[in-house]
Amino acid sequence: MPLHSRYNGGVRFRIRPFKKADFRTLWRIDQACFEPQLAYSQAELDFYMRRPGSFTLVAQDGAADDGTESERDKNKDDSAQGKRGSTDEIADSGILGFIVAESRRRTGHIITIDVVEKARRSGVGSALMQAAEEKLLRAGATSVALETPVNNAAAIRFYKSEGYFAEKTVAGYYSNQMDALVMTKALASTS
């Protein structure tokens, strides 16, 4: 898939399908993106990623594609010395974010979208959403729905910028009893 370039953040990346070896890094990213009560356990993330009709797309740092030294290469020696933590593990992978989505007949559903903090506001989230929506459209979806915590202002702004509208709130949707905002977007005309 093509490389995307954004010069304001200097982030180059490509969107690719999930590989089995990515799983632990994606879980680490999810843990870093959300507070403990909202982040998925490994079992939950695995469950959503494997559900029938579900797919996962990954945003991969483009540095490895153009011969630039990647974070992974720079950190090889540290790794050997066993000094590395989860933040380093994420940097080593070159993964900047991911999206899990599923198609349920004519409705697509975004399960989660997570972008690492250092890569935000560089178009990574937008590229992941567009790639997922294209895939959902090809699977026959005419609309997409998602839920987000009512207090996640950044995500709500992001989804609105992607063309999603707030449809309703669902009281106590999350395990911490936080309400969810359900947002939807029409992908194609139903006529």
Ligand X SMILES: CC(C)(COP(=O)(O)OP(=O)(O)OC[C@H]1O[C@@H](n2cnc3c(N)ncnc32)[C@H](O)[C@@H]1OP(=O)(O)O)[C@@H](O)C(=O)NCCC(=O)NCCS
Residue 62 interacts with ligand X (CB under 6 A)? Answer: no
Planar angle of CA 10, 22, 101, nearest 5 degrees: 85
Stretch that binds ligand X, among 48-56, 78-86, 113-121, 164-172 (CB under 6 A): 113-121
Binds ligand X by CB under 6 A, chosen from 55, 98, 158, 164:
158
Stretch that binds ligand X, among 14-22, 46-54, 73-81, 154-162 (CB under 6 A): 154-162
Binds ligand X by CB under 6 A, chosen from 115, 141, 144, 183:
115
- Long-range (24+ apart) CB contacts under 8 A made by 159-164 are 159/183, 161/126, 162/126, 162/129
Instruction: Name the strand (E) or helix (H) holding 144.
Output: strand 143-149
> Between 110 and 141, whose beta carbon lies closer to ligand X?
110
* Tokens representing residue 132 in the block: 């997922």
Task: Please choose, from the candidates 117, 6, 131, the residue with its C-alpha nearest in 3D space to the C-alpha of residue 59.
Answer: 131
Q: Which residues in this chain contact ligand X in the complex, by CB under 6 A?
A: 33, 112-115, 120-126, 148, 152, 154-155, 157-158, 161
